Each structure stands twice: as C-alpha cells, then as structure tokens.
Amino acid sequence: MKFSPGYLSQYCIFFILIFSGAPVYAEVKSVEIREWLVPWEKTRPRDPYVDAKGRVWFCGQAGNYIAYFNPATEKFEKFDLGEGSAPHNLIVDKKGYVWFAGNLQGYIGRLSPKSGKIKKFQMPDPAVSDPHTLEFDSKGDIWFTAQFSNVIGKLTVETGEIKLIPVKTEGARPYGIKVDSKDRPWIVLFGTNKLATVNPRTYALREYSLPRKEIRPRRLAITSYDKIWIVDYATGRLGRFDPVNQRYTERPLPGGEKSKPYAMAVDDKDRLWIVETGFNPNLLVNYNPWTQNFDHVSEIPSGGGTVRHMYFHPQTREIWFGTDTNFIGRAAIP
C-alpha cells in the first residue's frame, strides 16, 4: 500500500496480510508525515535535533558533514567535517553550539554555527575510537556511549575533561543512552540482554540483566517517574523497567518478532513512538502507556530504509527523523 509523497492524512487505515510475516493492524489511525530529500546523495542523514531558531540539525554520516534544514524556507546548509569523521549523532546546547560524535575518529566535536569553527575533544584513551550517542544532563554536560570500545563516558563541557567508564560485560556494545530526572544516565547494552546505569557522583557502573537471554535492547526512552522503556530489536518487543523495584515487563509490538524496532522517542504526554524497521516501508508505531494501546501506525512515505533515531520537539509537538533513503522527515503528533 503506497501513499502519495509528502503527507499522510489522518484517517483510519487497515493493514492486511499481503505477505508471510507482514504485520496485521485493525482500524488504527495514522499521523501526518512529511519528508524532504537531502540534496547530498547517499549520505545517510540521521539523528536530527531542533535548535532554538527552529533549524533541524542532522548528521550526514556517510558524507562526513553536519547540516541543518530550515523548515520555514525548506533550504539546507552544510558544514564539512573532513574525510573519515563519520558523524553518528548530534545534540544542540542552549548557546546554539552543535555537539556531535566523530564516530570513526575518536572525538566529540563542537561546531559553532556562526563561525563554522569546530573544536575537537579527543578521547583520552586512543583505544576508545567510536563515540556513538550523546545526551545532555541537567548541567549541560554530555554523557555518551562508545559501542565497540565498550565504554560509557562523560564530557564536562566547561573543562573539556572526559571521564571513561568501561562496561564490565565483555562485548556489551553500549548503544542508546538517556538521562533521567536524577541525572543518572541509562544505557542499553545492545550486545547483551542488559541495561546499565552510572552513578553521576561516584561513576560506579551497575548492570541489570533483563529476563530473557534473547533480548537485544537498542534504543530507550524515559517517561514520568523515571520509568525506563526499551525496544527489543531481536524479538520485536517493547519493555519497561522500573528502577525502584527492578521489575521488567514487556509486550509484543504490533509487527511481531520480525518488526526490528529501532528509533524511539517519547512525547509530552508520555506516549512512546517507535519505528518498526523490519518492514518496507518502515512503520511509525505509537504506544500509549496510560491506555496500554497501540493507537497509531503510519508508513514512512519514502520507505525509510532504516530510521535509526528520532527527536521530539515539544514546542511544535513534532517528531523529526532521518532515513537511509536520504530524507529528513517530520511527523505531526496529535
């Protein structure tokens, strides 16, 4: 089933079984999605973040650039980083600086949009070569993961000091990261069935084993009362971990075991938005923890290839994402 490029109207859609293993959905709503083609071909635009001016910054991972898209003018502007940098993820601070992970060159970069100048914060250990995903704490310092280096780190922005915390489990692959209301970073360990957290005062690392060995958590989100939600990429489930009682509960995603849930975001109503990347087109799925229902399922108009990361912008109530099909996309949230 194909939709015209650009917008998906809000109406009830019915998904039918058209091939073996395809998802079946009954009378769920879709959301309005629009995509814009990035002018630099085959550069894997990803991990957008909206700044105070409404510009949507994103990484051109395969093109070694950082760029922004202005939704008001529908124009793009690019900042080249140099060969081999492979920026993987970015975030924007309150001063407008763009912080990004130089994934293949072992540094976290800070881009000044005004001057175009870049300051690099190199990892203190050369063995830590792949900063992966970044997240601010309440002070504006940056927690990050380094997947294949098996490390979690913290960059103190004012001093430039970087603290590295090795993950105890070998081959754990620290991947997605979020910071809770107590400034504790929570990390999913994609190479295992584990979740981890770091004490922000002592830097002590703690790992939590999730109940099934098959679980492979890839991204996470944190809702009210610091409930930790994860997507299980391997077996197509949505899980919730309660740090207070250490209880883990889960439920199958609508697409089932083959859904390959990846990108994940939480909106201002604590609703979870997840992309099932196991299907073409990728599907944006919404779960409401208050009603315990999956309320919306929407096709990514370009197909998506793989949607890897999403950002919810509370001021406009929009979710932004990048696609392997070379688009930047926006979903308007009801």
* pLDDT for residue 29: 85
CATH code, domain carrying 284: 2.130.10.10
pLDDT per residue as tens, the chain (334 positions):
333 333 333 323 333 223 324 455 555 788 999 999 999 999 999 999 999 999 999 999 999 999 999 999 999 999 999 999 999 999 999 999 999 999 999 999 999 999 999 999 999 999 999 999 999 999 999 999 999 999 999 999 999 999 999 999 999 999 999 999 999 999 999 999 999 999 999 999 999 999 999 999 999 999 999 999 999 999 999 999 999 999 999 999 999 999 999 999 999 999 999 999 999 999 999 999 999 999 999 999 999 999 999 999 999 999 999 999 999 999 999 9
Q: Is residue 4 part of a domain?
A: no
Q: Which pTM value belongs to this model?
A: 0.92
Question: Token digits for 139?
Answer: 């002070």
**How many structural domains does the chain have?**
1
Question: Token digits for 94?
Answer: 């309150």
CA-wise closest residue to 239 among 259, 217, 257: 217
Q: Is residue 6 part of a domain?
A: no
Q: Is residue 42 part of a domain?
A: yes
The residue segments making up the domain with residue 91 are 12-332
* pLDDT for residue 246: 97
Q: Is residue 318 part of a domain?
A: yes
* Residue 322 CB partners (closer than 8 Å, separation 6+): 44, 45, 46, 47, 48, 58, 59, 307, 308, 309, 328, 329
φ, ψ dihedrals at 264, nearest 5°: -150, 140
> Virtual CA dihedral for 282, 171, 257, 260, nearest 10 degrees?
0
Q: Is residue 271 part of a domain?
A: yes
Contact yes or no for 279/236 (Cβ under 8 A): no
* pLDDT for residue 6: 35
Q: Is residue 3 part of a domain?
A: no
